Amino acid sequence: MIFPIHKEEQDLLRMIGAVAGKLGSPAYLVGGYVRDKMLGRDTKDLDIVCLGSGIALAEHVADQLMPRPHVTVFRRFGTAMLHHQGRELEFVGARKESYREDSRKPAVEEGSLEDDQFRRDFTINALAISLNDADFGNLLDPFNGIAHLSEKILKTPMDPGKTFSDDPLRMMRAIRFATQLGFTIEEETLQAIGKYKERIRIISQERITTELNKILEAPTPSIGFRLLLDTGLLDLILPELVELKGVEFKEGIGHKDNFYHTLQVVDNLCKRSDDLWLRWAALLHDIAKPATKRFDPEVGWTFHGHDALGANMVGKIFRKMRLPLDHKLKFVQKMVRMHLRPISLTQEDITDSAVRRLLFDAGEDLESLLMLCEADITSKNPKKVSRYLDNYRHLRQKLDEVEESDRLRNWQPPVSGELIMASFGIGPCREVGLIKTRIREAILDGEIDNNLEAATRLMFSEGRKLGLIARQTPTNP
Ligand code: ATP
Ligand code: MG
């Protein structure tokens, strides 16, 4: 092999080659596995192409493995997949493809290994390695994929226009690989994306979103978002983000370009956190700035309410992008809604009660929120950056102190609705909510202590004010 490989994997590949030999279906490793191994990236996905039936090869390979893995067959695609020792092996017969205008699903016929390499999206994804006895480990590189790997360029084996028009998902894949690998998209290939961008409309939202997520999971997502912007794809898939671009001047006063600011925030955050959803929050934290932008001759540009409106927009965007609508959406909305809160607490004279409120409202997401805020510092002046970071260090200390004394994270007020109802012999009603809120506020403001006794006392006095009559209960002090 031309790259280092564990003996165990080598034996597995030899076995596949031997089985393929017996079936008269020469087999080759192709695609992502070869690319990633050549780049020294770890990979557990093996794509195997053979001259013959991929399904038959998979079944015969499974027969040789202990324990025999289940073979999942996708008859419509002529592919089969099995799992073995943490690896995913996918088998397919070499094929030739021809496409129709309205679909990315090609008509398929049997083909040679070269036909099969030719149908692949990029030269670096079209490398093949023989698994056959006669030339085991031999590299077949008809399109200079190895050279392109070392030059770090993405280029299509055939005419790029045809490649992208046939299957427009490849445009997203090009930008995703450029971002993941730090590669450059070769000029003609890049031009073709711009030219055929409209074809993206035949791709399902789910597939587009999968690629966007991979871009966001890369070390420097801004590479991908710049390419999406420059090729015009971003206009088609996430126009709200494009709206952030540009600087307006009035009376000689400009504001920052919120598109490039946002990308910087995302990149900054990615150095601190791998959490995809926090990365989405960074991408969308200022999304409502265009909609809330005003010019005030006294103070210049303002974006009042962009946090609340932004949280709202996140819901719409998640729905459109077919992103999950569960607690992950709630989390991203919470981050966007709260992203201005910590900065307002970085002044010198903050009160314990303001700190307590932040602890209570952020709950278990406090650390994520602070990371987002620290990433939101994008000044080009290093002195300012370090001063702002210092402010957050100070705030973190303050948060720790108050947390230490109050234990407010994941806190629930000590008096529940049930206790209120039982204490006054009432059912669910407006008064229960009023009393609950009053107790929570009193604790957060430091007006009463955070314990059951103080809370119960306040409950009874508030109840009396509301005309409720206390029942004699053991908790009545
Ligand atoms: P990753 O696994 O990181 O997504 P990959 O390149 O392995 O990257 P897969 O989707 O696993 O991507 O596909 C395996 C191989 O199949 C690719 O390397 C490529 O050769 C080919 N391939 C995948 N999708 C396409 C496509 N849309 N057009 C042409 N070839 C493709
Ligand atoms: Mg793969």
pLDDT for 477: 45
pLDDT for 473: 56
Q: From atom 12 of ligand 1, which residue's Cα is the shortest distance away? A: 32
Whole-number Å distance, alpha carbon 81 to ligand 2 midpoint, is 12
Distance, in Å, from the CA atom of 274 to the CA atom of 110, rounded to the nearest integer, reads: 42
* Contact criterion met (CB below 8 Å) for 422 and 473: yes
Q: From atom 18 of ligand 1, which residue's Cα is the shortest distance away? A: 31
Query: Which residues lie closer than 8 Å to 199 by C-beta, 6 or more apart?
Result: 164, 165, 168, 171
Q: From atom 25 of ligand 1, which residue's Cα is the shortest distance away? A: 121
Q: What ligand has the least distance to the C-alpha of 34?
A: 1
pLDDT for 77: 85
Return the CATH number of 7-151, one of 3.90.1150.10, 3.30.460.10, 3.40.120.10, 3.20.20.70: 3.30.460.10
pLDDT in tens, the chain (477 residues): 888 888 999 999 999 999 999 999 999 999 999 999 999 999 999 999 999 999 999 999 999 999 999 999 999 888 999 999 999 999 999 999 888 777 788 888 889 999 999 999 999 999 999 999 999 999 999 999 999 999 999 999 999 999 999 999 999 999 999 999 999 999 999 999 999 999 999 999 999 999 999 999 999 999 999 999 999 999 999 999 999 999 999 999 999 999 999 999 999 999 999 999 999 999 999 999 999 999 999 999 999 999 999 999 999 999 999 999 999 999 999 999 999 999 888 876 788 888 989 998 999 999 999 999 999 999 989 999 999 999 999 999 999 988 887 766 667 788 999 999 999 999 999 999 999 999 989 988 888 988 899 999 999 999 999 999 888 655 544
Q: From atom 1 of ligand 1, which residue's Cα is the shortest distance away? A: 32
**C-alpha separations of 92 from 28, 57, 409 in Å:** 10, 9, 53
Residues having CB within 6 Å of any atom of ligand 1: 31-32, 45, 47, 120-121, 125, 167, 169-170
Q: Nearest CA to 451 among 459, 437, 181?
A: 459
pLDDT for 476: 46
**Domain 157-237's class?**
mainly alpha
Distance, in Å, from the CA atom of 151 to the CA atom of 98, rounded to the nearest integer, reads: 30
DSSP string for residues in 145-208: HHHHHHHTEE--SS-HHHHHHH-THHHHHHHHHHHHHTPEEPHHHHHHHHHHGGGGGGS-HHHH
Distance, in Å, from the CA atom of 16 to the CA atom of 84, rounded to the nearest integer, reads: 13
Q: Nearest CA to 459 among 428, 414, 404?
A: 414
Atom of ligand 1 nearest to the CA of 104: 27
Mapping DSSP to helix (H, G, I), strand (E, B) and coil, where does residue 280 land?
A: helix
Domain ranges across the chain: 7-151, 157-237, 417-465
